[in-house]
Every structure is written in C-alpha cells, then in structure tokens.
C-alpha cells in the first residue's frame, strides 16, 4: 500500500514465549498512538537531523538491544519518505544491523522497510515504531537538527538442534534401553549438504552429544567409532559411522533420532578360583568349562597350581561356567556357583570382566559312625538320630532300624556328636557314649577309622491314663449313647506335691491320654473349653479337679472321664416366612427360616427336599425348581434340638399345555376355549379380526398364560383345506381356502407326546347382504408423510361380500388404495367416502385433517447435570425438550446403576444407596438426542455430637484480628457449618467464618453453635484491652540522627533528672550530662525509636496523658540494646518526675534502677490516682566505658484495662 494514500497506522509488537527451544508468537493488535506516545527517543544534536537505528537479534523479546544482543541483521532495505509519500533516501543495514539517514532537513517523515529483504533464517520477533505487517512506521518530525532513533525490528534466529546419544546397544535392538550405558569420548562431526563441516561434538560421560544453533537445511553426521567398538545399530547411522542426509527444520530439535548403538569388541573376561575347603588352598588341575546359555561348550581350562582359572578375549553375550567336581570331592560353598558346579548366568558386554566367581570343595571321607538305641531287654527303639559337627551344624539325620541300629557313613575328618531325642514313653536307662539327655560325647573322626561303640538304652514308662471329656447332655455324670466327646479341653496331670507333670488337650473325640506316667500318686485337673462348664461326677468335682489317684507300673486307667455341660443356648422353635412355595420350572428363591430364640448359639439349619428331582435346596436355603410336581422341604435345626418344619412345594411347567383357545375372531369377540377333542366351525368366507382368512388358535398353561406354540408340531388329517399353516410365538394361524370339509389337528411336544387335539370344520357360506359399515374412527388427524389404514368393517360379520371402496374428495391431500391404506400428501382438510360393493350402496364418510410434518427434537435442556443427594431422598430431573414446538416431547430416563438411583417414566428419582452413577435422558421421537446427569448419593446426614475449641479464651487489643478455631465432631459430620455470635458486637465482631475483629475494650463472650439441628454450643470468653492512649506512637517529627533533640535543662551539675512538667499529648525530650545536653532521637517509622546519649550522659523521652482516677491501666514496651545502652522506664500519676535516679559526675557510676535492655516485652499494671499520668523513658549512655549508648524502644502502649482483670 502506498504511503501517499494510506492513513496513519499505529504501532504494535510481535511478542512470543520461548518454550523448549521453540518460539510461539503472540501477535498483539496495532493501535493508533500519538507521536508523543511512541517510544521514540529524541536525541538532541547539532547540525542537520538524522534517522538511525539497528535491526538486531532480540533474544529476550523486550524490543530493546541489550548488551549481550550483539548480532545485527544485515541486508534489510529501509526507505525514508516525507509526509507527501516522496522517497527521500534508501539505506541497507550493514553487518552490525545499523541503517542511517544523515543530513535530513526539518520536516515530517516516515520509514518503510522492504519486507521482502527480511532474512529467511530469522523470525520477526519484536517491533519498535514500525508496523510489522506492512513495514511502515508512524510519522515523526525532524526539527532543529535532532537525531531520531527508536525505529527497529527485533529478530529471533530460526535455528534447530540435535540431541542424541552414542551408547552400548547390548541387546542389538536399536533402542537405548534402561541399563545400556552411554559411551563417552566419541567424536561426532556435522556436515552441511555441500560436505562442509559445520560443527564438532564429543560425547560426555552419559554418551550424550548435541549440536545447537543449527540453521535449517540438509545435513549428515559422521562418528569416529572407537577401536574397541563396532557398529551395532542406528536409524540414520551406517556401519561406517556416517548417516544419510537428514533435514533440520526451523526451531526443530532432533532428540534421540541420531542415536548410534555400538557393540564392544571381544575384550571381556571371566576368572575365578577353586579351593579346598579343609586347607583353604587352591586345587590344581580342576577342569572348568565355559558354556553359552544354550549349554554349548565354548572352551575349557584347567586350574593352575593356585586353583585359579580364566577365560579371556570373550565377545559380548551371556555365559555360564561349570566346575567339573571330581568324584572324590563334595561341594561346600561358593560365590556364584550352585552345588552342581554350574555358575549363574554371566552377562558380558565385550569389555567387562567377571572375576568374583569361586567355589570351595572338600575331599570325601570314609569314616562310619554307628551305634544302637534299644531297651534293657534288647528291643530296638524306633527313632531319628542326627549327627552334628561341634559347632552345631547338622551333618546328617538317619532313622534306626527295627533292631535300633543307626549308622552315618562317609564322614570326613573332624569332631562331631550324635543327638538322639528320647521318644515319648521312654526314659533314660543306661548308655555307652551317650548322656542322659540323648546327646553323645564329642567324637573325633580321622576320615578312615570307624566309630561303632555307641549305645543308648531307654526304659519305657509304665503308667497311663486314657479317658474322655464328654458333653453330659442329661447331666447324670456318666457318658451315654449320644453324648459326644468335647474337643479342646485342657487336661493337666499333677504330682501329689502339686507339681505339673504333663498337660494335654482333648482330641476331636474328647479323648485325652498321659502315656508315660511314672508310678505314683497324682491328681488331674480339667479346664473346659469356651462354651462349657465342669459338672461333678464320680471322677471329678465341680471345679474340674479329681481326687488323688494311684498309677501303678503298666497300669492304664480309663475311668477318669470328665463330665461337661454346655453353656450353649439351644433352639426352641423355628419360624418360616411361608410354608408354601408355588413356583415354576427353573425359578429360584430362598426358604426364609428363623431360629428361636434370637440368642440361639447355633442357628445353622439343614434343608432337605423330599424329591430333589422336583426342587433342590443348598445349605443356605436357596432353592431351584427343576420340574413340575409337588413335594416338601424339611427345615431342621442342627444344634441337637432336632426341631423340624415342613414347606409344601408346588412346581408348575409354564410350557405344559392346559388349554387351547380360538382367538382373534371376527370383531375380536372374546376368546373361545377349545376343549380337548373339541371343534371350530367357520364358513369358507371367514375372516379373523385382522381381515385375514385365518383361524387363529393359541395354547395356554395352567395359569392361563399363553405358551409359545413354536416349540410344538402340528399334523392335519386334511391339509388340503388350508393354503398355509403359520406358527409364531403367539399362535397357530390356519389359512383356509374356499374348500369345505373337516380336518383333525394334532399338537405334539418335542418328545412326540400329543398335548392337544381339535377339529376345524369349514362350511359353505349363505348369501348375506351388507346391512351397515362400522368405522373404527370417522376422523383422521395426521401429518404430511404419515400413512395408515381406515378401519372399516362390513356388517353383519357373516355378510357374503365384505369388500369396500374408498374415495377421497381431494386426492392431492390424501390418497387411499383399495384396501383402505391411506397416505397423507399435503396439509389440508377433505373427506373419504367408504362404500359397500355388494349393491347395497351403504356409505360412510371419514373426515380428514392433514397437518404439517412432525417437528423433531434438536436438544434437551437439563435444569442440572449433577444430582448430589443422600440415601432415601427423592426428586425430579428437570429436562425440557427443544424446540418448544417439538411434536413428541416424551423422554426416557435410564440409570446406569439402578441399585444406586431409580427413575420413573416422568423423571422422578429415588436415591437407593451410596455411590456414583449416571442417568441417561433420551428423546423418543427418533432424534436420539441424549444427555447425561451425573449422580452422587451419599449416606444419610450425620449430626454433630460435639464442638472442640482450640482456645476457650480470647485476649486481644483493639483492632486485633483473629479466627475462632472450632472443629465439629465426629469428623464425618455431614454439615460442619457453625455460627459465631458475639454477645456484644461493640466489643468484638465475628463473621460467618469465625474471623473476629476487636472493636473496643471490654469483656464479653462468643457463642459457637452447630447449624445441623444438633444445637450444640460452646462459649469463648473474650477480653479486649482498651485502645492505646499514647499519642504519636510512631514518634513522627522528633528529628533524626545529627539533630540534637532536647528542650530545656534539668537540675544542676548534680545530673538529677527531675522536675519534668510536660503538656498533655506531646512527646518531650530532655537531656543533661556533665558536658551539657547530649542526646539524639531517631524514629524508625515502624513504631520504634532509638535514643542515643553520650558517655555518662542521660536523655529523657516523656509524654503526659489524661487518666481516670481509680481506673486500672497496662503500660507495655520493649527495650532493645543498640550498644552500651542502659535505661529506666516507668509511669507517674501527675506530671512531676522524681525518680531518685542519679547520674554521678564521675563516669560510669550508677545508682539504683538502671537496667540493661532485654529485647522482651515489659508490662507494668497500675491504678491511676490523678487525672493525668506521665510515661517516660530514660536512657543512659556508656556504662563503664567512655562511649555513647543507644537503646531502642518499641511496641509502646498504655491501655485502660478496667474490668478486664
């Protein structure tokens, strides 16, 4: 566009965000601005004017050339025009990006940048004063020889990058998998399309290399493959280390696309050692084999004199080694080997070494250690015997023979012992080489000599008790038939001294036994299991303890039977929800039975059908009907109460034919039952209710429910009477011809059984004239395109000619065929004449109204797409069909999980249980528009039971703020909202969230109350201190350092700080010292002030306020040491200060009351005695040192606290 004919354009900016190496531009609209608004820097110069600026790479996008943005953009053509559009001059940016127009006369100008000269490898990023769309600047003025700058473009280099890896592709799949290490130090060069190298890179410790700031174009790369590696894989790289050509686009980063996979050459090794476990020295001349993972032998070596072996020069792969263990050695231990001499798999990458594999062997020995375990009579004792080394390590375990002999063979040299556990029922008698605990003495084997003199003789215990603990149902103390043993009872045998001899537990039959009792006197205690109590009988007392009993040698007592009585509650009755089951084949259900009383211990029931072929019942009472018939189910308790109830069962088969009916008769007269062997008689002109020449017969079961007849077959004695016999899931349709006669119909089931027979009689008709026409309707109201049938019937039903004619008055509105089928053609009203054709000329008229086509739904508006409710709640889905004139506005409502929510046809819902689901709302007019309502149902409301307060007291100052920290319990309370009520809002206010603001001094309360109807309240006591009475607590206007701030003089050279008389509501400073007044004041602007006095000098800062006699006040401050500072602070009722604090003439001497600042809050509470009170601070410089001192005073307040203590 020519500048001469264009209006002045505004300026704008192209900005962007640099994200992961790419720049996403954001074009900001250009708006018209005045010259004064332009960011044009008018530089005052002498002589004629000039226009100059720089086109540069604006890397940070701020439209300003920063110190690090030194790259200019050369070759951009810039033209200078006057305000008449006349070209004044042309400049082209140099290598530094600068253009200049010199000696420019005064006038109005604009610049134009030839956009075709912008570089192709740089993106226009920002603009300053020049429109980035057409290259035109705004107008500017040269006046008085000024220099104009500020018209430039900022660019961003359109460069790409490469980031990839050189790695050890161990599995050769061309992918850098986890665990495949990078290869460092690999040189990679990048060449452009002409073969010129443009960059070099060397892989780092992770194998990564990169090329950055690559101009868009075609390149190839060349990697120098190290001597100890070979090419393995690469998408672009070939076996020579060079890639094919590839393209780098603007701002594109190729990540992992130039990965190069290498494989290490055959430089891996495996080494290890075979040692003697006894001497710890190496074993020489042991064969060691190297196998691949398929078991193929690669090579083998012999161990050297030190037992070492090695395999070198191995290529990458997986291997295992096998030490061939000599036949006279046994495996002992290893690192990396199994007991068969095979190592685990060893993974080599072509350069690594596996050197940690070792195996230790021990030469087999031939010592045999043997002995015998028997009784004094020489009978062998069956027992397991173990051999241990002296350190407790198990060597072998053997079993004694029938003669009691044991033997350990092949024992190596060493020290051992034999352990024989004395079996139950035996006791130590004598031995040779054994102790009484069954352990032998230490045995020293030399590997050649046998040890065979071991003997352990055991004596069998002589006494036994074998008796029963039983459930004494009749409580007579004696076990009788039907009284079973009780398992789990604890039985303890005591000596006559009360010492526990043995404890056992009764088995499943209630039996207990003590089989190894030394002859003597004992007693027995029975502890019943849970659910039982002891019952006294002849053997035991009610405490479960027997009397003293004697056990003789080889005596077995079976008379120590203990009687227990159950604490179990036995069933007394059994209630049934129903005593009759009337059902059908394949139906299921459950017998609902309840044991009485409710606390019966064992409520388990048994369910036994009398005929399981009719109905079966599982252990939980769930039944399944199998075939028709009648039977019973016995429901019985299982706790021994033997209570039984009976359920009567009747099962019917819905497919068993009980009746046949003639249906769909002319005029749809009531169905007629067809008895077995019965008949149907019709004329050969008969039509059914649908106008078809059909005789329709349906089958019914015993519940008068229609049966699907398609499962039955028909045979006809005279099939020529019928042109067709059709069977569907409702009826048999016998289509008769004009023939007359009779046919027997036989119906059979799938097994061939005849279930029904009847006869169809076809007779000739009489000539019956029509007497009338019966119309289903005399009005047709429809829409264009709709079809239908005129329901017209000739009367009487046996009229010989029932054919009718149908004539529309306007066939352009509706057309009718010979069967009365009509089609609506266009909107309008007309009539259709219905007339008999048998010569009787009976006529009826049907009025027709055709409306415009049906309007389909286009949308569904939902009142809400979310239902959040609780179990038991009801509501309605507010759904509206659009447009409002939709013909059919009926909707369906379908829940995805009706166990959570149910919805009726009108959208009324009921929440059933907690959970989340959806309800699909759908049109029914064929538009199939669907909307979804999300449903969340939670459990019913949980009311609060308590409120816990973090604090029950609030103490605050006026204007303080805070929050009441209150928690509703339990934690799952549904409504945790609380109300916060201040009893006096003039003292403190509280908002709905518990945030409070202290308004004035005073005492009141805040009540915290639940809002869920539980009406739980807690009270917080509130105490608000009065407002700070100090005037100017910020110390404004008291001067700064360097300004000696004092008025008047106090006392004499004796340096007493006396007789201050200040005006109410002002700060007054007074200074006195041995050299005269020396004090500085420095307000810090944060409510604190610094007081500094010279060495051995003192300063006074004081203010008098109005007080009420008898009121209590709180005076607070914080004094902080600023260096060598000492102070005193107090209050005096009245305006006179007479503290008795004295600064002696000699340096550093203090008398009573001077304090060192602590930096903590100091509080002084007092009762005013007059109508005015003075607060004052005295600061003393330099205690003990000849230097000034500084004290900082902050947080100063004086508050009326009357009634708050």
Whether residue 1067 sits in one domain with residue 1174: yes
Tell me how crowded residue 1140 is: count the other CB atoms within 10 A of its CB.
Answer: 10
CATH number at residue 994: 2.60.40.60
User: What three-state secondary structure class fits 969?
Assistant: strand
User: Burial level of 260, CB count in 10 A (0-12/13-18/19+)?
Assistant: buried
The reported pLDDT for the residue numbered 1201 is 83
Report the chain's mean pLDDT, rounded to a whole number: 86
Does residue 1030 lie in a domain region?
A: no
Whether residue 779 sits in one domain with residue 714: no
Q: What is the DSSP string of 820-846?
A: SEEEE-SSEEEEEEEEESSSS--EEEE
Does residue 1047 lie in a domain region?
A: no
Full domain range(s) for residue 1125: 1056-1200
Number of domains in the chain: 11
In angstroms, the CA 1104 to CA 1063 distance is 6
CATH number at residue 676: 2.60.40
Does residue 559 lie in a domain region?
A: yes
Whether residue 1195 sits in one domain with residue 1065: yes
| pTM, entire model | 0.27
Per-residue model confidence as pLDDT tens digits over 1012-1026: 999 999 999 998 887
Does residue 5 lie in a domain region?
A: no
Whether residue 145 sits in one domain with residue 39: yes
Whether residue 528 sits in one domain with residue 477: yes
Question: Residue 378, by phi and psi: left (phi above 0), alpha (psi -120 to 50) or beta?
Answer: left
Whether residue 902 sits in one domain with residue 830: no
Whether residue 663 sits in one domain with residue 677: yes
Taking the alpha carbons at both ends of the chain, their separation in whole angstroms is 86
Per-residue model confidence as pLDDT tens digits over 338-357: 989 999 989 887 778 898 89
Q: Which range is least confidently modeled, 287-296, 977-986, 1150-1159?
A: 1150-1159
Whether residue 133 sits in one domain with residue 19: yes
| Assigned token pair, 327 | 């036949």
The reported pLDDT for the residue numbered 11 is 31
Does residue 218 lie in a domain region?
A: yes
Look at 556 and 323; give whichever has higher pLDDT.
Answer: 323
Tell me how crowded residue 959 is: count the other CB atoms within 10 A of its CB.
Answer: 12
Do residues 1150 and 1115 lie in contact, with contact meaning Cβ atoms separated by under 8 Å? Answer: no
Q: Which range is least confidently modeled, 151-155, 289-293, 801-805, 1128-1132?
A: 1128-1132
Whether residue 904 sits in one domain with residue 816: no
**Does the pLDDT of residue 796 top 70, yes or no?**
yes
Domain boundary among 722, 738, 763: 763
In angstroms, the CA 140 to CA 80 distance is 11
Whether residue 787 sits in one domain with residue 734: no
The reported pLDDT for the residue numbered 654 is 81
Q: Write out the H or E segment, with its range, that includes residue 452.
A: strand 451-460
In angstroms, the CA 509 to CA 751 distance is 55
The reported pLDDT for the residue numbered 1145 is 31
Per-residue model confidence as pLDDT tens digits over 900-925: 999 999 999 999 999 999 999 999 99
**Does the pLDDT of residue 12 top 70, yes or no?**
no
Domain boundary among 813, 846, 879: 846
Q: What percent of the chain stands above pLDDT 70?
A: 89
Average pLDDT value for residue range 976-983: 95
Per-residue model confidence as pLDDT tens digits over 381-401: 889 999 999 999 999 999 999
Tell me how crowded residue 789 is: count the other CB atoms within 10 A of its CB.
Answer: 14
Per-residue model confidence as pLDDT tens digits over 525-561: 999 999 899 999 999 999 999 999 999 877 889 999 9
CATH number at residue 434: 2.60.40.10
Does residue 64 lie in a domain region?
A: yes
**Does the pLDDT of residue 330 top 80, yes or no?**
yes
Per-residue model confidence as pLDDT tens digits over 631-660: 999 999 998 889 999 999 999 888 888 899
| Assigned token pair, 989 | 């206010």
Whether residue 776 sits in one domain with residue 756: no
In angstroms, the CA 1149 to CA 899 distance is 92
| Assigned token pair, 1151 | 């008398």
* Nearest Cα residue to 605 out of 566, 582, 573: 573
| Assigned token pair, 1024 | 């608000």
Does residue 1083 lie in a domain region?
A: yes
Per-residue model confidence as pLDDT tens digits over 676-719: 999 999 988 899 989 999 999 999 988 888 999 998 999 999 99
In angstroms, the CA 310 to CA 355 distance is 9
CATH number at residue 899: 2.60.40.1080
In angstroms, the CA 1100 to CA 1104 distance is 13
Per-residue model confidence as pLDDT tens digits over 1085-1122: 788 888 887 766 667 778 888 888 888 888 899 999 88
In angstroms, the CA 718 to CA 135 distance is 103
Do residues 926 and 853 lie in contact, with contact meaning Cβ atoms separated by under 8 Å? Answer: no
Q: What is the DSSP string of 1169-1184?
A: -SSEEEEEEEEEE-SS
Domain boundary among 846, 870, 891: 846
In angstroms, the CA 1067 to CA 942 distance is 61
**Does the pLDDT of residue 14 top 70, yes or no?**
no
The reported pLDDT for the residue numbered 1073 is 53
Per-residue model confidence as pLDDT tens digits over 743-757: 999 999 888 999 999
Whether residue 922 sits in one domain with residue 971: no
Backbone angles phi, psi at 710, to 5 degrees: -65, -15
- DSSP-derived letter for residue 72 is B
Do residues 163 and 210 lie in contact, with contact meaning Cβ atoms separated by under 8 Å? Answer: yes
* Nearest Cα residue to 839 out of 799, 809, 792: 799
Per-residue CA distances from 286 to 300, 338, 339, 407, 905 (Å):
10, 16, 16, 32, 89
Does residue 30 lie in a domain region?
A: yes
Q: Residue 768's pLDDT band (boundaries 50, 70, 90)?
A: confident
Characterize the bridge pairing of strands 1017-1025 and 953-957. parallel
């Amino acid at each position: 566009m020519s500048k001469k004919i264009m209006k002045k354009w505004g300026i704008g900016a192209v900005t962007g965000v640099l994200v992961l190496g790419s720049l996403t531009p954001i074009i900001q609209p250009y708006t018209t601005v005045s010259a004064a608004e332009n960011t044009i820097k008018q530089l005052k110069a002498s002589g004629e004017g000039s226009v100059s600026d720089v086109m540069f790479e604006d890397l940070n996008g701020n439209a300003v050339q920063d110190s690090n943005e030194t790259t200019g953009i050369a070759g951009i053509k810039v033209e200078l025009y006057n305000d008449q559009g006349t070209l004044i001059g042309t400049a082209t940016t140099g290598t530094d990006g600068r253009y200049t127009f010199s000696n420019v006369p005064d006038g109005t100008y604009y610049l134009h940048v030839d956009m075709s000269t912008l570089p192709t490898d740089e993106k226009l990023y920002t603009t300053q004063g020049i429109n980035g769309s057409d290259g035109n600047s705004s107008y500017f003025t040269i006046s008085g020889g000024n220099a104009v700058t500020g018209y430039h473009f900022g660019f961003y280099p359109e460069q790409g990058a490469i980031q990839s890896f050189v790695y050890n592709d161990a599995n050769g799949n061309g992918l850098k998998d986890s665990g495949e290490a990078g290869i460092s130090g690999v040189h990679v060069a990048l060449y452009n399309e002409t073969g010129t190298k443009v960059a070099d890179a060397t892989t780092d410790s992770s194998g990564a290399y990169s090329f950055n700031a690559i101009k868009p174009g075609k390149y190839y790369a060349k990697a120098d493959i190290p001597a100890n590696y070979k090419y393995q894989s690469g998408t672009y790289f070939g076996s020579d280390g060079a890639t094919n050509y590839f393209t780098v686009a603007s701002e594109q980063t190729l990540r992992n696309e130039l990965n190069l996979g290498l494989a290490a050459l055959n430089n891996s090794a495996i080494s290890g050692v075979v040692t003697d476990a006894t001497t710890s020295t190496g074993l020489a001349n042991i064969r060691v084999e190297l196998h691949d993972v398929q078991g193929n032998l690669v090579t083998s070596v012999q161990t050297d004199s030190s037992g070492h072996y090695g395999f070198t020069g191995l290529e990458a792969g997986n291997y295992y080694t096998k030490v061939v263990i000599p036949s006279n050695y046994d495996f002992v231990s290893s690192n990396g080997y199994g007991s068969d001499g095979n190592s685990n798999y060893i993974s080599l990458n072509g350069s690594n070494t596996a050197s940690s594999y070792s195996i230790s062997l021990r030469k087999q020995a031939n010592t045999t250690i043997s002995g015998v375990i028997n009784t004094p009579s020489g009978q062998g004792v069956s027992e397991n015997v173990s051999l241990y080394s002296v350190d407790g390590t198990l060597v072998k375990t053997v079993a004694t023979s029938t003669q009691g002999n044991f033997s350990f063979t092949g024992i190596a040299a060493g020290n051992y012992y034999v352990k024989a556990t004395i079996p139950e029922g035996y006791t130590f008698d004598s031995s040779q080489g054994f102790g009484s605990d069954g352990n032998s003495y230490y045995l020293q084997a030399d590997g050649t000599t046998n040890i065979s003199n071991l003997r352990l003789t055991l004596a069998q215990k002589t006494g036994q008790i074998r008796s029963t603990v039983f459930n004494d149902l009749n409580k007579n103390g004696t076990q009788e038939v039907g009284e079973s043993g009780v398992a789990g009872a604890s039985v303890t045998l005591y000596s006559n001294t009360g010492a526990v001899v043995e404890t056992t537990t009764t088995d499943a039959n209630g039996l207990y036994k003590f089989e190894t009792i030394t002859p003597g006197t004992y007693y027995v205690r029975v502890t019943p299991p849970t659910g039982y109590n002891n019952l006294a009988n002849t053997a035991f007392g009610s405490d479960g303890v027997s009397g003293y009993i004697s056990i003789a040698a080889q005596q077995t007592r079976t008379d120590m039977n203990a009687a227990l009585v159950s604490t179990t509650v036995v069933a007394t009755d059994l209630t049934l929800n129903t005593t009759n089951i009337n059902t059908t084949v394949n139906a299921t259900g459950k017998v609902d039975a309840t044991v009485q009383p409710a606390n019966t211990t064992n409520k388990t029931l048994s369910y036994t059908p009398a005929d399981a072929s009719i109905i079966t019942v599982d252990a939980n009472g769930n039944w399944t009907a199998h075939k028709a018939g009648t039977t019973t189910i016995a429901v019985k308790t299982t706790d021994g109460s033997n209570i039984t109830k009976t359920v009567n069962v009747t099962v019917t088969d819905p497919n068993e034919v009980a009746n046949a009916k003639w249906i769909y008769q002319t005029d749809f007269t009531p169905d007629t039952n067809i008895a077995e062997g019965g008949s149907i008689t019709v004329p050969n002109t008969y039509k059914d209710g649908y106008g078809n020449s059909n005789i329709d017969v349906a089958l019914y079961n015993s519940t008068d429910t229609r049966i699907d007849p398609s499962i039955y077959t028909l045979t006809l004695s005279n099939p020529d009477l019928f042109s067709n016999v059709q069977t569907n899931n409702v009826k048999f349709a016998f289509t008769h011809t004009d023939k007359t006669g009779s046919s027997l119909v036989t119906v059979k089931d799938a097994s061939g059984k005849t279930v029904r027979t009847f006869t169809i009689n076809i007779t000739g008709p009489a000539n019956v004239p029509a007497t009338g026409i019966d119309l289903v309707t005399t009005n047709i109201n429809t829409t264009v395109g709709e079809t239908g049938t005129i329901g017209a019937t000739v009367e009487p039903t046996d009229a010989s000619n029932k054919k009718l004619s149908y004539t529309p008055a306007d066939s352009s509105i509706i057309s009718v065929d010979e069967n009365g089928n009509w089609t609506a053609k266009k909107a309008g009203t007309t009539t259709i004449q219905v007339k008999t054709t048998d010569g009787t000329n009976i006529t009826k008229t049907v009025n027709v109204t055709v409306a415009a086509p049906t309007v389909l739904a286009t949308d569904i508006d939902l009142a809400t797409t979310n239902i959040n409710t609780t179990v038991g709640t009801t509501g309605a889905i507010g759904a509206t069909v659009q447009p409002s004139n939709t013909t059919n506005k009926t909707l369906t409502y379908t829940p995805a999980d009706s166990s959570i929510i149910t919805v009726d046809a009108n959208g009324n819902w009921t929440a059933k249980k907690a959970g989340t689901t959806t309800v699909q709302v759908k049109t029914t007019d064929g538009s199939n528009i669907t909307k979804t309502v999300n449903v969340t149902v939670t459990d019913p409301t949980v009311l609060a039971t308590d409120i816990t307060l973090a604090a029950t007291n609030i103490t605050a100052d006026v204007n303080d703020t805070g929050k009441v920290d209150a928690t509703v319990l339990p934690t799952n309370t549904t409504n945790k909202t609380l109300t916060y009520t201040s009893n006096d809002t003039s003292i403190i206010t509280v908002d709905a969230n518990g945030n409070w603001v202290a308004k004035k001094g005073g005492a009141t309360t805040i009540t915290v109350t639940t809002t869920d109807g539980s009406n739980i309240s807690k009270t917080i006591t509130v105490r608000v201190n009065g407002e700070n009475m100090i005037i100017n607590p910020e110390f404004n206007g008291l001067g700064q350092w360097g300004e000696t701030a004092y008025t008047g003089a106090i006392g004499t050279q004796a340096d007493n700080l006396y007789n201050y008389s200040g005006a109410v509501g002002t700060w007054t400073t007074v200074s006195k010292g041995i050299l005269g007044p020396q004090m500085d004041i420095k307000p810090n602007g944060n409510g604190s002030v610094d007081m500094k006095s010279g060495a051995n000098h003192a300063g006074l800062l004081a203010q008098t306020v109005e007080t009420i006699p008898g009121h209590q006040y709180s005076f607070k401050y914080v004094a902080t040491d600023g260096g060598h500072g000492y102070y005193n602070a107090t209050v005096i009722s009245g305006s006179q200060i007479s503290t008795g604090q004295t600064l002696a003439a000699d340096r550093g001497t203090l008398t009573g009351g001077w304090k060192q600042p602590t930096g903590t809050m100091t509080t002084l509470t007092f009762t005013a005695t007059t109508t005015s009170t003075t607060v004052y601070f005295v600061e003393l410089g330099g205690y003990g040192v000849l230097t000034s001192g500084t004290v900082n005073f902050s947080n100063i307040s004086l508050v009326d606290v009357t009634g708050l203590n």
